[in-house]
Amino acid sequence: MKIGIVGAGMVGSSAGYALAMMGGVSEIVLVDRNDALARAQAEDISHAVPFVSATLVRSGAYHDLAGARIVILAAGVSQKPGETRLELLERNAEVFRKVVEAVRNAAPDAILLIATNPVDIMTHVATKLSGLPPQRVIGSGTILDTARFRSLVGRHLGISPQSVHAYVLGEHGDSEVLAWSNARAGSIGLETFADQIGKRLDATVRQSIDDGVRNAAYRIISGKGATYYGIGAGLARIVNAIARDQRDVLSVSIVTDMVEGVTDVALSVPRVIGADGVLADLFPELDRDEQAALRKSAMLIKEATESLRL
Ligand code: ADP
Protein backbone atom coordinates (compact mmCIF):
# COMPACT_ATOMS: atom_id res chain seq x y z
CA MET A 1 0.00 0.00 0.00
CA LYS A 2 1.19 3.50 -0.90
CA ILE A 3 1.14 6.20 1.79
CA GLY A 4 1.68 9.93 1.23
CA ILE A 5 3.02 12.38 3.80
CA VAL A 6 2.64 16.13 3.19
CA GLY A 7 4.94 18.09 5.49
CA ALA A 8 8.35 16.47 5.92
CA GLY A 9 9.27 18.33 9.12
CA MET A 10 9.81 16.65 12.46
CA VAL A 11 6.34 15.09 12.77
CA GLY A 12 5.95 14.03 9.13
CA SER A 13 9.43 12.52 8.92
CA SER A 14 9.01 10.73 12.28
CA ALA A 15 5.77 9.22 10.97
CA GLY A 16 7.64 8.11 7.83
CA TYR A 17 10.40 6.56 9.92
CA ALA A 18 7.95 4.77 12.25
CA LEU A 19 6.02 3.47 9.23
CA ALA A 20 9.18 2.17 7.58
CA MET A 21 10.16 0.48 10.87
CA MET A 22 6.74 -1.12 11.41
CA GLY A 23 6.65 -2.45 7.85
CA GLY A 24 3.34 -3.31 6.21
CA VAL A 25 3.32 -0.52 3.60
CA SER A 26 4.99 -0.77 0.20
CA GLU A 27 5.75 2.86 -0.60
CA ILE A 28 6.01 6.17 1.27
CA VAL A 29 6.10 9.48 -0.65
CA LEU A 30 7.17 12.62 1.22
CA VAL A 31 6.02 16.02 -0.12
CA ASP A 32 7.01 19.40 1.31
CA ARG A 33 7.08 22.95 -0.04
CA ASN A 34 10.77 22.68 0.86
CA ASP A 35 11.81 20.12 -1.79
CA ALA A 36 15.34 19.78 -0.48
CA LEU A 37 14.04 18.89 2.99
CA ALA A 38 11.62 16.26 1.63
CA ARG A 39 14.43 14.77 -0.48
CA ALA A 40 16.85 14.64 2.43
CA GLN A 41 14.33 13.11 4.85
CA ALA A 42 13.32 10.47 2.29
CA GLU A 43 16.93 9.56 1.62
CA ASP A 44 17.77 9.37 5.33
CA ILE A 45 14.71 7.20 6.14
CA SER A 46 15.38 4.98 3.11
CA HIS A 47 18.78 4.13 4.59
CA ALA A 48 17.10 2.70 7.69
CA VAL A 49 14.84 0.47 5.57
CA PRO A 50 17.33 -2.29 4.62
CA PHE A 51 17.67 -3.17 8.32
CA VAL A 52 13.97 -3.98 8.75
CA SER A 53 11.69 -3.93 5.72
CA ALA A 54 11.45 -3.36 1.98
CA THR A 55 9.41 -0.16 1.93
CA LEU A 56 10.25 2.22 -0.95
CA VAL A 57 10.73 5.69 0.56
CA ARG A 58 10.99 8.67 -1.77
CA SER A 59 10.12 12.34 -2.10
CA GLY A 60 7.96 13.83 -4.79
CA ALA A 61 5.47 16.44 -5.94
CA TYR A 62 1.72 16.28 -5.33
CA HIS A 63 1.11 14.26 -8.52
CA ASP A 64 3.37 11.54 -7.06
CA LEU A 65 0.65 10.93 -4.45
CA ALA A 66 -1.57 9.36 -7.15
CA GLY A 67 -2.80 5.97 -5.93
CA ALA A 68 -2.04 6.68 -2.25
CA ARG A 69 -4.63 5.03 0.03
CA ILE A 70 -3.79 7.29 2.97
CA VAL A 71 -2.21 10.75 3.02
CA ILE A 72 -0.88 12.11 6.30
CA LEU A 73 -1.11 15.91 6.57
CA ALA A 74 1.69 17.17 8.83
CA ALA A 75 2.31 20.49 7.05
CA GLY A 76 2.09 23.64 9.09
CA VAL A 77 3.74 26.85 10.17
CA SER A 78 5.12 27.62 13.61
CA GLN A 79 4.07 30.40 15.94
CA LYS A 80 5.72 33.79 15.28
CA PRO A 81 6.78 35.90 18.27
CA GLY A 82 3.74 37.84 19.50
CA GLU A 83 1.33 35.89 17.34
CA THR A 84 -1.96 34.80 18.97
CA ARG A 85 -3.22 31.22 18.80
CA LEU A 86 -6.03 32.35 16.52
CA GLU A 87 -3.63 34.08 14.11
CA LEU A 88 -1.53 30.92 13.98
CA LEU A 89 -4.66 28.88 13.40
CA GLU A 90 -5.65 31.13 10.51
CA ARG A 91 -2.24 30.73 8.89
CA ASN A 92 -2.41 26.94 9.26
CA ALA A 93 -5.92 26.93 7.80
CA GLU A 94 -4.45 28.86 4.85
CA VAL A 95 -1.78 26.16 4.41
CA PHE A 96 -4.55 23.53 4.42
CA ARG A 97 -6.52 25.41 1.74
CA LYS A 98 -3.67 24.74 -0.70
CA VAL A 99 -2.61 21.34 0.58
CA VAL A 100 -6.04 19.70 0.84
CA GLU A 101 -6.99 20.77 -2.70
CA ALA A 102 -3.70 19.51 -4.14
CA VAL A 103 -3.99 16.18 -2.31
CA ARG A 104 -7.64 15.71 -3.34
CA ASN A 105 -6.71 16.33 -6.99
CA ALA A 106 -3.81 13.87 -6.89
CA ALA A 107 -5.33 11.14 -4.71
CA PRO A 108 -9.13 11.53 -4.67
CA ASP A 109 -9.68 8.16 -2.97
CA ALA A 110 -7.23 8.68 -0.12
CA ILE A 111 -8.19 8.75 3.53
CA LEU A 112 -6.74 11.92 5.12
CA LEU A 113 -4.88 11.55 8.40
CA ILE A 114 -4.40 14.91 10.09
CA ALA A 115 -1.45 15.60 12.39
CA THR A 116 -1.10 19.41 12.21
CA ASN A 117 -1.97 21.19 15.47
CA PRO A 118 -4.34 22.22 16.89
CA VAL A 119 -5.30 18.85 15.52
CA ASP A 120 -9.03 18.84 16.37
CA ILE A 121 -9.63 22.16 14.64
CA MET A 122 -7.39 21.28 11.70
CA THR A 123 -9.38 18.04 11.31
CA HIS A 124 -12.56 20.12 11.12
CA VAL A 125 -10.92 22.43 8.57
CA ALA A 126 -9.73 19.49 6.42
CA THR A 127 -13.17 17.84 6.57
CA LYS A 128 -14.87 21.04 5.36
CA LEU A 129 -12.27 21.77 2.66
CA SER A 130 -12.18 18.22 1.30
CA GLY A 131 -15.91 17.58 1.19
CA LEU A 132 -15.11 14.01 2.31
CA PRO A 133 -17.32 12.20 4.81
CA PRO A 134 -15.97 12.70 8.38
CA GLN A 135 -15.14 8.99 8.66
CA ARG A 136 -12.38 9.52 6.03
CA VAL A 137 -10.75 12.58 7.62
CA ILE A 138 -9.13 11.36 10.81
CA GLY A 139 -7.15 13.49 13.25
CA SER A 140 -4.50 11.84 15.43
CA GLY A 141 -6.41 13.44 18.33
CA THR A 142 -5.64 11.90 21.71
CA ILE A 143 -3.97 8.75 20.38
CA LEU A 144 -0.72 9.88 21.98
CA ASP A 145 -2.33 11.11 25.23
CA THR A 146 -4.01 7.71 25.53
CA ALA A 147 -0.62 6.02 25.03
CA ARG A 148 0.92 8.26 27.71
CA PHE A 149 -1.99 7.49 30.09
CA ARG A 150 -1.58 3.72 29.59
CA SER A 151 2.14 3.93 29.96
CA LEU A 152 2.00 5.81 33.31
CA VAL A 153 -0.78 3.61 34.74
CA GLY A 154 1.08 0.47 33.58
CA ARG A 155 4.30 1.68 35.15
CA HIS A 156 2.54 2.45 38.44
CA LEU A 157 0.83 -0.96 38.58
CA GLY A 158 3.79 -2.90 37.21
CA ILE A 159 1.99 -4.17 34.07
CA SER A 160 2.52 -3.53 30.35
CA PRO A 161 0.77 -0.51 28.77
CA GLN A 162 -0.93 -2.93 26.35
CA SER A 163 -2.71 -4.54 29.32
CA VAL A 164 -4.14 -1.20 30.45
CA HIS A 165 -7.44 -0.32 28.76
CA ALA A 166 -7.98 3.37 29.31
CA TYR A 167 -8.67 6.36 27.06
CA VAL A 168 -8.10 10.10 26.99
CA LEU A 169 -11.15 11.86 25.50
CA GLY A 170 -11.96 15.29 24.10
CA GLU A 171 -9.43 17.84 22.94
CA HIS A 172 -5.81 16.96 22.22
CA GLY A 173 -4.72 19.74 24.55
CA ASP A 174 -5.27 21.35 27.92
CA SER A 175 -8.95 20.44 28.30
CA GLU A 176 -8.52 16.71 27.58
CA VAL A 177 -10.28 14.23 29.87
CA LEU A 178 -8.64 11.14 31.37
CA ALA A 179 -11.48 8.63 31.68
CA TRP A 180 -10.55 6.98 34.97
CA SER A 181 -13.98 5.67 35.88
CA ASN A 182 -14.04 2.98 33.16
CA ALA A 183 -10.29 2.24 32.96
CA ARG A 184 -9.33 -1.43 33.26
CA ALA A 185 -6.26 -3.53 33.94
CA GLY A 186 -6.97 -6.62 31.88
CA SER A 187 -10.70 -6.92 32.54
CA ILE A 188 -10.57 -5.64 36.12
CA GLY A 189 -11.35 -2.13 37.30
CA LEU A 190 -8.10 -0.26 38.05
CA GLU A 191 -8.93 0.30 41.71
CA THR A 192 -9.81 -3.35 42.33
CA PHE A 193 -6.60 -4.43 40.65
CA ALA A 194 -4.53 -1.92 42.62
CA ASP A 195 -6.13 -3.24 45.85
CA GLN A 196 -5.38 -6.83 44.90
CA ILE A 197 -1.69 -6.15 44.42
CA GLY A 198 -1.44 -3.81 47.41
CA LYS A 199 -0.76 -0.59 45.43
CA ARG A 200 -2.26 2.82 46.11
CA LEU A 201 -4.38 4.51 43.46
CA ASP A 202 -5.65 7.43 45.51
CA ALA A 203 -6.32 11.03 44.48
CA THR A 204 -2.63 12.00 44.81
CA VAL A 205 -1.44 9.18 42.53
CA ARG A 206 -4.17 9.96 40.01
CA GLN A 207 -3.32 13.64 40.07
CA SER A 208 0.33 12.91 39.38
CA ILE A 209 -0.58 10.61 36.46
CA ASP A 210 -3.04 13.22 35.16
CA ASP A 211 -0.31 15.83 35.33
CA GLY A 212 2.17 13.47 33.63
CA VAL A 213 -0.22 13.00 30.69
CA ARG A 214 -1.57 16.55 30.40
CA ASN A 215 1.77 18.32 30.65
CA ALA A 216 3.96 15.84 28.77
CA ALA A 217 4.19 17.99 25.64
CA TYR A 218 5.21 21.10 27.63
CA ARG A 219 7.96 19.17 29.41
CA ILE A 220 9.31 17.65 26.20
CA ILE A 221 9.20 20.97 24.35
CA SER A 222 11.08 22.72 27.17
CA GLY A 223 13.82 20.08 26.96
CA LYS A 224 14.17 19.50 23.22
CA GLY A 225 12.06 22.09 21.43
CA ALA A 226 9.44 19.81 19.88
CA THR A 227 7.68 16.44 20.23
CA TYR A 228 7.72 14.00 17.33
CA TYR A 229 8.71 10.37 18.04
CA GLY A 230 5.56 9.60 20.03
CA ILE A 231 3.16 11.16 17.55
CA GLY A 232 5.11 9.64 14.63
CA ALA A 233 4.54 6.16 16.07
CA GLY A 234 0.88 6.99 16.81
CA LEU A 235 0.32 8.02 13.19
CA ALA A 236 1.99 4.83 11.96
CA ARG A 237 -0.31 2.84 14.28
CA ILE A 238 -3.41 4.46 12.72
CA VAL A 239 -2.06 3.83 9.20
CA ASN A 240 -1.58 0.15 10.07
CA ALA A 241 -5.13 -0.18 11.43
CA ILE A 242 -6.42 1.17 8.09
CA ALA A 243 -3.94 -0.62 5.82
CA ARG A 244 -4.61 -4.02 7.39
CA ASP A 245 -8.31 -3.41 8.06
CA GLN A 246 -7.62 -4.29 11.67
CA ARG A 247 -10.73 -2.78 13.25
CA ASP A 248 -8.69 -1.56 16.18
CA VAL A 249 -10.28 0.67 18.80
CA LEU A 250 -8.17 3.84 18.94
CA SER A 251 -8.90 7.30 20.34
CA VAL A 252 -8.87 9.59 17.32
CA SER A 253 -10.59 12.82 16.31
CA ILE A 254 -13.26 13.20 13.63
CA VAL A 255 -16.11 15.65 13.18
CA THR A 256 -18.82 14.11 15.37
CA ASP A 257 -22.57 14.86 15.21
CA MET A 258 -23.05 15.12 18.95
CA VAL A 259 -20.91 14.73 22.07
CA GLU A 260 -22.34 15.54 25.51
CA GLY A 261 -24.92 17.80 23.89
CA VAL A 262 -22.40 19.68 21.72
CA THR A 263 -23.05 19.27 17.99
CA ASP A 264 -20.76 19.12 14.95
CA VAL A 265 -17.44 19.10 16.77
CA ALA A 266 -14.12 17.34 16.07
CA LEU A 267 -12.71 15.61 19.14
CA SER A 268 -11.53 12.22 20.31
CA VAL A 269 -13.50 9.27 21.62
CA PRO A 270 -12.53 5.64 21.05
CA ARG A 271 -13.41 4.64 17.48
CA VAL A 272 -13.20 1.46 15.42
CA ILE A 273 -10.66 1.92 12.60
CA GLY A 274 -10.51 -0.23 9.47
CA ALA A 275 -9.99 -0.06 5.72
CA ASP A 276 -12.70 2.57 5.18
CA GLY A 277 -11.53 4.81 8.02
CA VAL A 278 -13.72 5.18 11.10
CA LEU A 279 -16.31 2.39 11.16
CA ALA A 280 -17.97 3.16 14.51
CA ASP A 281 -17.77 5.57 17.44
CA LEU A 282 -17.73 4.39 21.05
CA PHE A 283 -19.09 6.60 23.80
CA PRO A 284 -17.76 5.23 27.10
CA GLU A 285 -19.87 5.41 30.24
CA LEU A 286 -18.47 8.28 32.29
CA ASP A 287 -19.08 9.57 35.78
CA ARG A 288 -20.64 13.02 36.24
CA ASP A 289 -17.39 14.92 36.56
CA GLU A 290 -15.96 13.28 33.44
CA GLN A 291 -19.16 14.03 31.52
CA ALA A 292 -19.00 17.68 32.54
CA ALA A 293 -15.30 17.88 31.64
CA LEU A 294 -15.92 16.31 28.21
CA ARG A 295 -18.75 18.76 27.53
CA LYS A 296 -16.49 21.66 28.49
CA SER A 297 -13.72 20.35 26.24
CA ALA A 298 -16.18 19.96 23.32
CA MET A 299 -17.46 23.52 23.84
CA LEU A 300 -13.94 24.96 23.85
CA ILE A 301 -13.10 23.27 20.54
CA LYS A 302 -16.41 24.32 19.04
CA GLU A 303 -15.85 27.98 19.99
CA ALA A 304 -12.33 28.00 18.59
CA THR A 305 -13.52 26.35 15.36
CA GLU A 306 -16.31 28.89 14.98
CA SER A 307 -13.93 31.80 15.50
CA LEU A 308 -12.14 30.71 12.34
CA ARG A 309 -13.46 31.97 9.02
CA LEU A 310 -13.81 28.71 7.09
P1 ADP B 1 6.38 19.83 13.09
O2 ADP B 1 7.25 19.78 14.31
O3 ADP B 1 4.92 20.06 13.40
O4 ADP B 1 6.60 18.70 12.15
P5 ADP B 1 7.92 21.44 11.26
O6 ADP B 1 8.04 22.92 11.14
O7 ADP B 1 9.13 20.61 11.57
O8 ADP B 1 6.78 21.19 12.34
O9 ADP B 1 7.27 20.85 9.92
C10 ADP B 1 6.25 21.45 9.20
C11 ADP B 1 6.57 21.27 7.73
O12 ADP B 1 5.45 21.72 6.95
C13 ADP B 1 7.79 22.06 7.26
O14 ADP B 1 8.75 21.18 6.70
C15 ADP B 1 7.22 23.02 6.19
O16 ADP B 1 8.10 23.23 5.10
C17 ADP B 1 5.97 22.27 5.75
N18 ADP B 1 4.98 23.14 5.11
C19 ADP B 1 4.53 24.35 5.54
N20 ADP B 1 3.64 24.87 4.64
C21 ADP B 1 3.53 23.96 3.65
C22 ADP B 1 2.77 23.90 2.44
N23 ADP B 1 1.94 24.90 2.08
N24 ADP B 1 2.91 22.82 1.65
C25 ADP B 1 3.74 21.82 2.00
N26 ADP B 1 4.48 21.81 3.10
C27 ADP B 1 4.39 22.86 3.94
What residue owns the CA closest to ligand 1's atom 6? 9
In this structure, the strands spanning 168-169 and 177-178 are antiparallel
Instruction: Give the pLDDT confidence score for residue 86 in this predicted structure.
Output: 80
Instruction: Give the pLDDT confidence score for residue 283 in this predicted structure.
Output: 96
Instruction: Give the pLDDT confidence score for residue 309 in this predicted structure.
Output: 73
In ligand 1, the atom with minimum distance to the C-alpha of 13 is 4
Q: Of 208, 210, 205, which is closest to residue 194 (Cα–Cα)?
A: 205
78 lines ligand 1 (CB under 6 A): yes
Is 11 known as a binding-site position?
yes
Q: CA–CA distance from 96 to each of 44, 115, 126, 268, 306 (Å)?
A: 26, 12, 7, 21, 17
Q: Of 70, 286, 49, 277, which is closest to residue 178 (Cα–Cα)?
A: 286
Alpha carbon of 11 to ligand 1 centroid (Å): 9
Q: Which one of 6, 33, 113 would you pick to mutate in the ligand 1 pocket, going by the greatest count of ligand atoms within 8 A of its CB?
A: 33
Instruction: Give the pLDDT confidence score for residue 84 in this predicted structure.
Output: 78
Q: How far apart are CA 253 and CA 172, in angstroms?
A: 9
In ligand 1, the atom with minimum distance to the C-alpha of 228 is 2
Residue-wise DSSP of the chain: -EEEEE--SHHHHHHHHHHHHH---SEEEEE-SSHHHHHHHHHHHHTTGGGT---EEEE--GGGGTT-SEEEE----PPPTT--HHHHHHHHHHHHHHHHHHHHHH-TTPEEEE-SSSHHHHHHHHHHHH---GGGEEE-TTHHHHHHHHHHHHHHHTS-GGGEE--EEB-SSTT-EE--TT-EETTEEHHHHHHHTT----HHHHHHHHHHHHTHHHHHHHHHS---HHHHHHHHHHHHHHHTT--EEEEEEEEEEEETTEEEEEEEEEEEEETTEEEEE------HHHHHHHHHHHHHHHHHHHTS--
Q: Which of 47, 63, 124, 172 is catalytic?
A: 172
98 lines ligand 1 (CB under 6 A): yes
Q: Which one of 41, 90, 95, 113 would you pick to mutate in the ligand 1 pocket, going by the greatest count of ligand atoms within 8 A of its CB?
A: 95
Alpha carbon of 263 to ligand 1 centroid (Å): 31
Instruction: Give the pLDDT confidence score for residue 109 in this predicted structure.
Output: 96
Q: How far apart are CA 84 and CA 14, in angstroms?
A: 27
What residue owns the CA closest to ligand 1's atom 13? 9
Is 165 known as a binding-site position?
yes
232 lines ligand 1 (CB under 6 A): no
Instruction: Give the pLDDT confidence score for residue 81 in this predicted structure.
Output: 78
Average pLDDT by stretches of 10, the chain with 310 residues = 97 98 94 98 97 95 98 91 82 96 98 96 98 98 97 97 97 96 95 94 96 92 92 98 97 98 98 98 97 98 89
7 lines ligand 1 (CB under 6 A): yes
User: What's the one-letter identity of residue 149?
Assistant: F
Alpha carbon of 36 to ligand 1 centroid (Å): 13
Is 119 known as a binding-site position?
yes
Q: At what angle do helices 203-214 and 216-224 cross, to 10 degrees?
A: 50
pLDDT tens for residues 11-59? 999 999 999 999 889 999 999 999 999 999 999 999 999 999 899 999 9
Instruction: Give the pLDDT confidence score for residue 110 in this predicted structure.
Output: 98
Confirm whether 63 is a catalytic residue: no
Q: CA–CA distance from 112 to each of 21, 131, 251 (Å)?
A: 21, 11, 16
Instruction: Give the pLDDT confidence score for residue 250 in this predicted structure.
Output: 98
The answer to whether 45 and 16 have CB atoms below 8 angstroms apart is yes
Instruction: Give the pLDDT confidence score for residue 213 in this predicted structure.
Output: 96
11 lines ligand 1 (CB under 6 A): yes
Is 227 known as a binding-site position?
yes
